[in-house]
Structure 1
Amino acid sequence: MKINVEVDATPEEIRAFLGLPDVAPLQKEMMEDVAKRMREGQQGYESLAMMQPLMQSGVANMDAMQKLFWQAFTQSGSKDDNKK
Structure 2
Amino acid sequence: MKVTVELDATPEELRAFLGLPDVAPLQKEMMDDLARRIREGQQGYEALTLMQPMLQSGIANMDAMQKMFWQAFTQSASDADKKK
TM superposition score category, shorter chain reference: 0.7 to 0.9
Distance 1:82 1:14, change over 3 A: farther
Q: Which residue of 2 aligns with 1:24?
A: 24
**SS of residue matched to 1:12:** helix
Q: Which residue of 1 aligns with 2:43?
A: 43
Name 2:64's counterpart in structure 1: 64
Q: Which residue of 2 aligns with 1:11?
A: 11
With over 3 angstroms needed to count, the CA separation of the structure-2 counterparts of 1:78 and 1:2, relative to structure 1, is farther
Gaps of 5+ in 2: none
Q: How high is the TM-score relative to the length of structure 2?
A: 0.82
Residue-by-residue CA offset, 1:29-51 (whole Å, 9 max, x unaligned): 00011111112111001111111
**Unaligned residue ranges in structure 1 (runs of 5+):** none
Question: Compared with structure 1, are the counterparts of its residues 75 and 14 closer, same or farther at alpha carbon in structure 2 (3 Å cutoff)?
Answer: farther
Count how many residue pairs are aligned between Structure 1 and Structure 2.
Answer: 84
**RMSD between aligned alpha carbons?**
1.9
Among all aligned residue pairs of Structure 1 and Structure 2, give the percentage whose two residues are the same amino acid.
77
Question: How far off is 1:14 after superposition?
Answer: 2.5
